[in-house]
Amino acid sequence: MSLVVEGLSKNYSKNLVALNTISFSAKKGECIGIVGESGSGKSTLGKVLVGLENYKEGTITYNGAPVVPTKRSRLREYRKNVQMIFQDSSSSLNPKLPVWESVLEPLDNFKECSPAFLEGQNLSRKETAEQLLIMVGLDKELAGRYPEELSGGQKQRVSIARALSIEPSLLICDEPTASLDVTVQVQILNLLKDFQKKMDMTILFISHDIRAVTFLCEQIIVLKNGTIQDQFGINELYHKSRHPYTKALIEAASIQ
């Protein structure tokens, strides 16, 4: 897997530059953190990368081929390999569907996928969903419940199970722990870390919390007003060459 983003720009309106010539690349198995204050363009970047938002300029190249929003067959192939977990698990799960049906959405969309966890097994659809719930540490009894009957942490695990079901090579996590209390945040981060290692997945981890980012990622991109301010390896976090804005983020998180 390789993802190369070059000169990506997006405006929501004439005066609102949400992304300004963003360039970076990600290789197989890498975990890249994207941090920045509220409104810096993090979610916009995630949505553009997953094909949910259009962009004005620049290129996104996945495994050597450009991802063009208007080329539907190419986009489908890309989406089969790229999944996103959203900040607000409540709105990303359909309240009218029992959990197990939501979990199966990606596998239903991409029937050609044959993930390793299903190999050699002859499971019904519901059993497949239960297996996925067990994988993310949930009781399979939750399969028949509706989202409103789950806690925030449980919903986020369901979203993770759904995203991992087709074994994406690239997983974009947009503030996956922001709405959770600290102990559950750590559990979810550990879960993501385990899967990242097991599946050798590439993760783009979006967060306003630089501590969460340093826990998971080797590379960090700092965004402000849609512009990359700083970009560095985790070993250089405390280096004197860090941008003042990065230093301020570190200080605010009091991890010095």
Binding site for ligand ATP (CB under 6 A): 12, 16, 18, 36, 38-44, 208
Report the 10 Å Cβ neighbour count for 115.
17
Please identify which residue in the block is written with the tokens 């503030």.
175
Residue 145 beta carbon to ligand ATP: minimum distance, rounded to whole angstroms: 28
Q: Which is nearer to ligand ATP, 42 or 157 (CB)?
A: 42
Residue 41 or 106 with smaller CB distance to ligand ATP: 41
Least Cβ distance, residue 104 to ligand ATP (angstroms): 28
Footprint of Mg ion on 36-75 (CB under 5 A):
42-43
- Judge whether 68 and 61 are in contact, CB under 8 Å: no
- Residue 12 CB, shortest distance to ligand ATP, in Å, is 3
How many CB atoms are closer than 10 A to CB 234? 15
Q: With CB cut-offs between 5 and 8 Å by kind, which of Mg ion, ligand ATP, none does residue 256 bind?
A: none
* Contacted by 65, from Mg ion, ligand ATP, none: CB < 5 to 8 Å by type: none
Choosing among Mg ion, ligand ATP, none, which partner's interface includes residue 40 (Cβ < 5 to 8 Å by kind)? Answer: ligand ATP
Residue 229 CB, nearest approach to ligand ATP (Å): 13
Q: Give the residue with the Cβ less far from Mg ion, 42 or 224.
A: 42
With b for 16 or more beta-carbon neighbours within 10 A and e for fewer, the 200-232 pattern comes to ebbbbbbbbbbebbbbbbebbbbbbebbbbbbb
Contact partner, 41, from Mg ion, ligand ATP, none, Cβ < 5-8 Å per class: ligand ATP
By beta-carbon proximity to ligand ATP, the closer residue of 32 and 138 is 32
Query: How far is the C-alpha of 195 from the C-alpha of 159, rounded, in Å?
Result: 14
Regarding 207 and contact with Mg ion (CB under 5 A), the answer is: no
Cα distances from 190 to residues 136, 177, 212, 226, in angstroms, run: 11, 11, 11, 29
Q: By CB neighbour count within 10 A (0-12 exposed, 13-18 middle, 19+ buried), where does 118 fall?
A: middle
Q: For residues 169 and 207, which CB has a smaller minimum distance to ligand ATP in the complex?
A: 207
N-to-C CA span, the chain:
34
To ligand ATP, the closest distance from the beta carbon of 20 in angstroms equals: 11
Strands (E), 28-85: 31-35, 57-62, 65-66, 82-85
